[in-house]
């Protein structure tokens, strides 16, 4: 068996930017094999790859849409070269915000397809592999909005609440096979998306957070790395908030 095949292998969806990139970098510190999916920003994905490789990881990039079964299959086929899949991080997600009276059916369907069906697609493929291995760590990215709701985000809230439900259901299915399934529910994290907000909106958000500041991608990544580790082997079916106290 080659040296690469002796390392753990992780698949991370939506790993080109933001929280996804932070998780990739945190896992790269453990010199894993990383298979990273991205939707369309090749330059950002390549930057993530280069940064991870500097930390000692072997990195494969796969472009695709997680809502499409064939694209998810290509992602797992790319991971097959390493012989196993130890970790799956379902991070890919989109927003198309609007009040419900103005939200199109297309925008509702697209958000649910990417954020929820995309998770299901990858979970189905990972489950087959991990059950056979009798080992696996699955981390699904939900959101504080999936717990508390948020005006103008009925599609996003529905999709992220669904991620929580699918996490708990799958944890019950896979626990006896040595596979853990957990969710992380981030609050307002500094990303490209939040950077585009006005100063007034950012201040309003901070005032709604008990800790009075937004989080960083590294805050989520550190938890993801722990849940992906052997030390977290007795934790499953949980939703852990990284939100500065918003969902208390």
Catalytic residue IDs: 156
Give CA–CA dist 120/239, Å, rounded. Answer: 17
How far apart, in whole angstroms, are the C-alpha atoms of residue 96 and residue 201? 18
Q: Is the dihedral of CA 232, 218, 187, 89 positive or negative?
A: negative
C-beta neighbour count of 206 within 10 angstroms: 14
How far apart CA 225 and CA 108 sit, in angstroms, is: 31
CA distances, 215 to each of 1, 10, 95 (Å): 41, 24, 19
Find all residues with CB under 8 Å of 15, minimum gap 6, and list them: 21, 23, 24, 34, 36, 37, 38, 45, 48, 89, 91
Phi, psi of 239 (to 5 degrees): -115, 115
């Amino acid at each position: 068996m080659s040296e690469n095949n002796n390392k753990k292998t992780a698949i991370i969806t939506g790993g080109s930017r933001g929280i996804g990139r932070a998780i990739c970098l945190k896992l790269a510190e453990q010199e894993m094999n990383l298979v990273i999916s991205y939707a369309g920003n090749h330059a950002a994905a390549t930057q993530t790859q280069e940064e991870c490789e500097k930390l000692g990881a072997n990195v494969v990039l796969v472009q695709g849409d997680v809502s499409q079964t064939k694209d998810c299959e290509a992602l797992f086929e790319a991971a097959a070269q390493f012989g196993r899949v130890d970790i799956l991080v379902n991070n890919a997600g989109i927003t198309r915000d609007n009040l419900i009276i103005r939200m199109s059916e297309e925008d509702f369907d697209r958000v649910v397809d990417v954020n929820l069906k995309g998770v299901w697609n990858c979970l189905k493929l990972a489950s087959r592999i991990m059950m056979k291995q009798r080992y696996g760590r699955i981390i699904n990215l939900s959101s504080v909005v999936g717990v508390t709701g948020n005006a103008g985000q009925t599609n996003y809230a529905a999709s992220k609440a669904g991620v929580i439900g699918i996490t708990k259901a799958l944890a019950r299915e896979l626990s006896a096979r040595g596979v853990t399934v957990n969710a992380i529910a981030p609050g307002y994290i500094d990303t490209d998306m939040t950077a585009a907000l006005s100063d007034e909106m950012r201040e309003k958000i901070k005032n709604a957070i008990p800790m009075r500041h937004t989080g960083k991608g590294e805050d989520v990544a550190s938890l993801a790395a722990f849940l992906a580790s052997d030390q977290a082997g007795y934790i499953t079916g949980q939703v852990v908030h990284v939100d500065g106290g918003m969902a208390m």
